[in-house]
Structure 1
């Protein structure tokens, strides 16, 4: 379950927890090639954002602190899911530790104040 503070920020930035899940899943599933879908905190706007990073160098995200990173490089899912990246991303929502995401947000807030 999501902590109240994290849930408030999610609702402020994305409308609802379900919308966040839809957006980060779509972002992760649609990485062109290999990379990551990222839920991050942007201090300059005091907001949560969803970012997409391809490979190691493309679309590097500066000015954002990662809170949750979904690895969609083939090594993360191929043994179990083969080429079904979408099934892998959907299954991740059953194991994400939202308390850890909330802790990372609190740490990010401390760093930027």
Structure 2
């Protein structure tokens, strides 16, 4: 089962550093570094505060969609890694574009 470590403290899906979204999607089609990717599933907790209870029936998120064609771990638009890390370029992200997949590896 995939595990998504999340360091984006104000994401509504973050529960103690683990992503509890039903599924996430990493985007950044032509990325060459992790900073050019983002977690398009990010939702600011100040607006969407009750989504940590909207989880997979089995617990933490176990589906990682990947739209980053340049990532070595992209296997048919699904991440082939068992564990990834999502973090933010800001202390408190306002938009999904301020998040990134720090597990990204360019082909």
TM-score tier after normalising by the smaller chain length? 0.3 to 0.5
Structure label with greater radius of gyration: 1
Which structure exhibits the higher relative contact order, with contacts defined as CA atoms closer than 8 Å and separated by 6 or more residues? 2
